Structure 1
């Protein structure tokens, strides 16, 4: 496993990041809330203070124009103006009144009174051009249109002084008829200086524009009497509302402006201020909060380092323990004395390592036992395979011997039948030989059952061989007796032959009287010769039977030895199977006693024939059973080969398990 150095996602960095987040996120959120709240409060305060200033400026405008409008109102009601046509002295009074009006304020550039009849009186007196017609002037028309009101004209540049001027005018009526219009040209220089000098904050100022967008008052005189305000982004909003607050960019600076309409003039009064001045306070808050966050950051890092030191110490112990355990070292213990969850984790780790160590130890013991067992199984399977091979060979030999024995028995039967026929011809008391044989039980297809069957058949073959041996010995003894009887018959035959010879001689001597006797004697002689010949044949047959009986006895002895060797091999096989299958079943059951219904030999010939036929039958069954056992043994041998292969594979697996377990280092108990 590869470990990356300087991993950003290490526990130390996570702890520092977490503590910093816990400390800074609420502080950042609080700072943002404070900032936006403060910005809102500052903006609200700016709006409120600006509204107050605008109200003051609007009041100043109102007072400024009312101070001019009131005298004009008074003059418009003056009888001298109304009755200017009735008395010539009234014109003098009108001039005097206009002079007084002009002297009321230094910003009044001139006052005048123009009548409907075309008379035009002004102060300071100034000769007007011959084509001058006051009645077509805007101030005159507006005043006539709005009778009863003091109108204020749009701002314009005075042709004489070049100053920015507005005109206040009111129609003079007498009994509903317009007599003329009183007007006063009012310079805005003083008002501009007075209002433009008003400072709002550090960079703020007041500027005023008409509702048509003509700049009336501005600290920058280049903008006065221009429509620069109509080119600003906020103008469309401002011209349609009586008051409000707007944000805009002017001359590359972000600005904030509060505006309000003046009721008397209809002008729009603006209070402009650089946005940075408003955000200055909030920026100060941001700086303070930034400083606080920096301090908190340093403190949180220090606290995180202090806290993480103990945690990382315990984590490093756990990491080291887990690293050793991952490499197979299960002998390590972790000692943590932190009185917290790390101590519990350490205890659980030690408990886990102890359990794993015990498990590995037990697995190691079990693998050792399995290795030994697999070795023993492999060895036993090899021995069993070898024993099965020997047993198979022995069974094959038994089968061959049984076959030969059966053939010999058949030969004996043929000979005995021939002998019986001959003896029947001699003694007329031949008894038929009867074949009675009991079939042996079918051998099981299963390997173990076949072994049991082999044992059973081997025991029966052994006992039958013993009985056959005994019978053959008895037959030999009977053959000896038959031989003696044959010799006796031969002797009798010789004597009969001699007697017949003597009878023939005597018959010859008797002549014709003994001729019939001679014929009888000749027949007796022939019979004696035949009996002699039969006796010789019987002796010959008995000799052959004796020889074959001896061969059968030797074969039975060999069979007995083979059966004994087979018993030893089968006994070994049984022990091996019992060891492999943990004594699941005994390979060899108690050999059942063979119940043989033997019939006493009614006659020596019949007894010999019956025993030989039984020998033949048993030999055939033994040969058949041996072949079946041989086939089963071959199957078992094949199974044992597969078993040996599995045992070898088990041994290899256990050895691999031993190798893997050997990689673990466990505590010595």
Structure 2
């Protein structure tokens, strides 16, 4: 049973089934998984590009907002009226009325600016001494505090020497006195001639103003928007509790080198996040947004399910095709192998029932013809053995009787004719040996005839194998021509992708130029004020259309790159497979040469058999001549001794002949029994 299982496992049908099944399933799986991961990568890249563009626009808006307040602080710094009022307030020679009027003008100016901008908590001018009585503020602002944190922030403003300083969003404002967060810009209003009249100008902006600016920036379904300081601390975030803390996701030197300002990283929970960022030019901060990659690649999961379904369908088809191969090739070959094993055991009644007209059917017909010939030969040998056995039994009985009578006569005449009998006995022995040698010669001649017939059958099978190998060579050459055609088509497709890239480059340049023109138009419209608002909308629409066109062109470019890579992979696989097909053709041609060599060797073998048969015929003729010579010698001996020892010679000769006949009859009977036993194993 174990041997039978090994035969089934090693059969040609099972091997073809395993190879076909593994090839189909492997190619389908590789193609599906490659498409799945390629789709995930394309989706992630597209989302990263779109998000980067959105982050760029949001950063531009933030810069515009911050630049607006820096311009406001610059107006205060160069306002001669405000400067004169601050000098009057701090002048010891000014009257109380003049100081009161100056303070009133300062407060009204601050209130007017604060009232015209609802995004402001307030504007305050703080004296260097941080004394509340010497400070001025717009309505709605709280009192000044002078704790250690406030002093540190004031020192930063002093160190800036009149340049604006932006402070991160604080949950309760610059002085920790509000109920909501605020963003503060500080600037020292310098006065070289009157240092006592220098004030800290603090513009406190509501944190909600940043939220409104960033409201149009959305990344994924659960994305977060943050503004980070150069040290990686959170300047702004959706959760005020995180303000001032270090961000888990940092923008390092390696990530900052990305051209599209995007990368992937893991958050504190170990989830993969798509991160986009854009540096701000005003406050030296970085706008960063991130969202789980799974939000964008969830749609690609359907492609994985489709891949699994296709792999399952391919496996079912491969099983069906493999089953057909096993049924059409494996089963007939296995059945033929079993029949040959039965024939090896001596069962000559086995026959094939192949009805196909292909090589397997022809092989089965040749097997049946071979078994028919062997059966006829075995039947003839069995019949001859039975006849020899019957004759030997009769010969044993007759020789026994003759030996008994000869022994009685020899006992009376043995002493008289001993010398003559011995000479005659030797002559007779030689004659019988010559006859036996002639029989053996005839048997060898018959065996040569059988070998000649078998050699002709082998030549016939070799001719069939040679024709089959020639057909296989033609099929392999046709397959090689198809591989060459695939290589030519891959080259043409590669040239087409290069042409598409060359067409896309000018379009990308036009879109970039359009985007820049739209941005310049927006800036000019802002400078124009109310008269340019309608043009701002048109410029934004043009920019959006340019961005959409740019995204579409980039998508087409990436898809073209993907097609190019697939074409390169296909060409690589075809180039790797071509040498294998060439080696296969070479192996088939070598096999055909081997069949031709076998045919030539069998023809030489038939020639040797013919020479052997001719030699045996010559030996038979020499044996007949030798027999005649030995008979003549025996006749001469008998005639010489007839006159003196006729009775003794005849009696002795009869006794010796009888004894030899008994021995030879026994040997003949043993040989007949052995031949019959050897033929019993054959079932005809």
- Per the normalisation by structure 1, the TM-score is 0.55
Q: In the alignment, what sits opposite 2:281?
A: 263
Q: In the alignment, what sits opposite 1:579?
A: 435
The structural deviation recorded for 1:294 is 3.5
Query: In the superposition, relative to structure 1, how do residues 366 and 226 fare at CA in structure 2: closer, same or farther (>3 Å)?
Result: farther
Q: In the alignment, what sits opposite 1:180?
A: 199
Which of 255-264 and 159-168 deviates more?
Answer: 255-264
Q: 1:109-128, aligned counterparts within 5 Å?
A: 109-116=121-128, 119-124=134-139, 128=143
Q: In the alignment, what sits opposite 2:452?
A: none
Q: In the alignment, what sits opposite 1:413?
A: none
Say if 2:187 is the partner of 1:170: yes
Which of 584-593 and 253-262 deviates more?
Answer: 584-593
Query: In the superposition, relative to structure 1, how do residues 4 and 573 fare at CA in structure 2: closer, same or farther (>3 Å)?
Result: closer
Q: In the alignment, what sits opposite 2:49?
A: 48
Which of 61-70 and 332-341 deviates more?
Answer: 332-341
Q: 1:398-437, aligned counterparts within 5 Å?
A: none
SS of equivalent to 2:57:
helix
Gap regions ≥5 residues in structure 2: 90-100, 439-622, 641-655
Q: In the alignment, what sits opposite 1:659?
A: 680
The structural deviation recorded for 1:149 is 2.8
The structural deviation recorded for 1:96 is 3.1
The structural deviation recorded for 1:339 is 3.6
Q: Distance between the aligned counterparts of 2:193 and 2:395, measured in 1?
A: 144
**Deviations for 1:461-505, whole angstroms, at most 9, x for unmatched residues?**
xxxxxxxxxxxxxxxxxxxxxxxxxxxxxxxxxxxxxxxxxxxxx
Checking the alignment, whether the CA contact within 8 Å between 1:114 and 1:135 is kept in structure 2 is: no
Query: In the superposition, relative to structure 1, how do residues 566 and 313 fare at CA in structure 2: closer, same or farther (>3 Å)?
Result: closer
**Deviations for 1:254-294, whole angstroms, at most 9, x for unmatched residues?**
43333343333333333222232232122111122223333
Q: 1:68-217, aligned counterparts within 5 Å?
A: 68-88=69-89, 91-116=103-128, 119-124=134-139, 128=143, 132=146, 137-157=151-171, 158=173, 159-174=176-191, 179-192=198-211, 195=214, 198-217=217-236
Higher relative contact order, structure no. (Cα contacts within 8 Å, ≥ 6 residues apart): 2
Query: In the superposition, relative to structure 1, how do residues 393 and 120 fare at CA in structure 2: closer, same or farther (>3 Å)?
Result: farther
Q: In the alignment, what sits opposite 1:416?
A: none
The structural deviation recorded for 1:51 is 1.0
Query: In the superposition, relative to structure 1, how do residues 581 and 180 fare at CA in structure 2: closer, same or farther (>3 Å)?
Result: same
Q: Distance between the aligned counterparts of 2:255 and 2:294, measured in 1?
A: 26
Q: Distance between the aligned counterparts of 2:246 and 2:409, measured in 1?
A: 127
Q: 1:409-558, aligned counterparts within 5 Å?
A: none
Checking the alignment, whether the CA contact within 8 Å between 1:375 and 1:651 is kept in structure 2 is: no
Checking the alignment, whether the CA contact within 8 Å between 2:187 and 2:202 is kept in structure 1 is: yes
Checking the alignment, whether the CA contact within 8 Å between 2:55 and 2:217 is kept in structure 1 is: no
The structural deviation recorded for 1:317 is 6.1
Query: In the superposition, relative to structure 1, how do residues 322 and 134 fare at CA in structure 2: closer, same or farther (>3 Å)?
Result: closer
Instruction: Flag the structure with higher helix content.
Output: 2
**Deviations for 1:632-663, whole angstroms, at most 9, x for unmatched residues?**
xx9xxxx99999998787566434322223xx
The structural deviation recorded for 1:64 is 2.5
Query: In the superposition, relative to structure 1, how do residues 77 and 337 fare at CA in structure 2: closer, same or farther (>3 Å)?
Result: farther
Q: Distance between the aligned counterparts of 1:323 and 1:176, measured in 2?
A: 121
Q: How many residues align?
A: 461
Q: Distance between the aligned counterparts of 1:386 and 1:334, measured in 2?
A: 57
Alignment equivalent of 2:290, drawn from 247, 272, 280: 272
Q: Distance between the aligned counterparts of 2:318 and 2:324, measured in 1?
A: 10
Checking the alignment, whether the CA contact within 8 Å between 2:164 and 2:186 is kept in structure 1 is: yes
Query: In the superposition, relative to structure 1, how do residues 66 and 6 fare at CA in structure 2: closer, same or farther (>3 Å)?
Result: farther
Q: In the alignment, what sits opposite 1:292?
A: 310
Q: In the alignment, what sits opposite 1:334?
A: 352
Q: 1:287-436, aligned counterparts within 5 Å?
A: 287-302=305-320, 305=323, 310-311=328-329, 314=332, 318=336, 321-322=339-340, 325=343, 328-357=346-375, 360-361=378-379, 364=382
Q: Distance between the aligned counterparts of 1:161 and 1:105, measured in 2?
A: 18
The structural deviation recorded for 1:74 is 1.8
Q: Distance between the aligned counterparts of 2:193 and 2:336, measured in 1?
A: 109
Q: Distance between the aligned counterparts of 2:407 and 2:385, measured in 1?
A: 32
User: Whose radius of gyration is greater, 1 or 2?
Assistant: 1
Query: In the superposition, relative to structure 1, how do residues 652 and 350 fare at CA in structure 2: closer, same or farther (>3 Å)?
Result: closer
SS of equivalent to 1:153:
strand
Checking the alignment, whether the CA contact within 8 Å between 1:377 and 1:647 is kept in structure 2 is: no
Checking the alignment, whether the CA contact within 8 Å between 2:262 and 2:276 is kept in structure 1 is: yes
Checking the alignment, whether the CA contact within 8 Å between 1:384 and 1:640 is kept in structure 2 is: no
**Deviations for 1:352-388, whole angstroms, at most 9, x for unmatched residues?**
4345445645665786699789999999999999999
Q: Distance between the aligned counterparts of 2:287 and 2:340, measured in 1?
A: 78
Which of 566-575 and 51-60 deviates more?
Answer: 566-575
Tell me how large the CA RMSD over aligned residues is.
5.2
Gap regions ≥5 residues in structure 1: 399-558, 596-633
Q: Distance between the aligned counterparts of 1:382 and 1:222, measured in 2?
A: 131
Q: Distance between the aligned counterparts of 2:224 and 2:142, measured in 1?
A: 41
The structural deviation recorded for 1:45 is 0.9
The structural deviation recorded for 1:191 is 1.9
Q: In the alignment, what sits opposite 2:571?
A: none
The structural deviation recorded for 1:27 is 2.0
Checking the alignment, whether the CA contact within 8 Å between 1:110 and 1:186 is kept in structure 2 is: yes
Q: Distance between the aligned counterparts of 2:120 and 2:146, measured in 1?
A: 21
- Per the normalisation by structure 2, the TM-score is 0.54
Query: In the superposition, relative to structure 1, how do residues 109 and 331 fare at CA in structure 2: closer, same or farther (>3 Å)?
Result: same
Q: Distance between the aligned counterparts of 1:594 and 1:355, measured in 2?
A: 52
The structural deviation recorded for 1:566 is 5.1
Checking the alignment, whether the CA contact within 8 Å between 2:62 and 2:213 is kept in structure 1 is: no
The structural deviation recorded for 1:140 is 3.1
SS of equivalent to 2:299:
helix
The structural deviation recorded for 1:183 is 1.6
Query: In the superposition, relative to structure 1, how do residues 13 and 173 fare at CA in structure 2: closer, same or farther (>3 Å)?
Result: same
Q: Distance between the aligned counterparts of 1:304 and 1:594, measured in 2?
A: 87
Q: Distance between the aligned counterparts of 1:593 and 1:5, measured in 2?
A: 72
SS of equivalent to 2:42:
helix
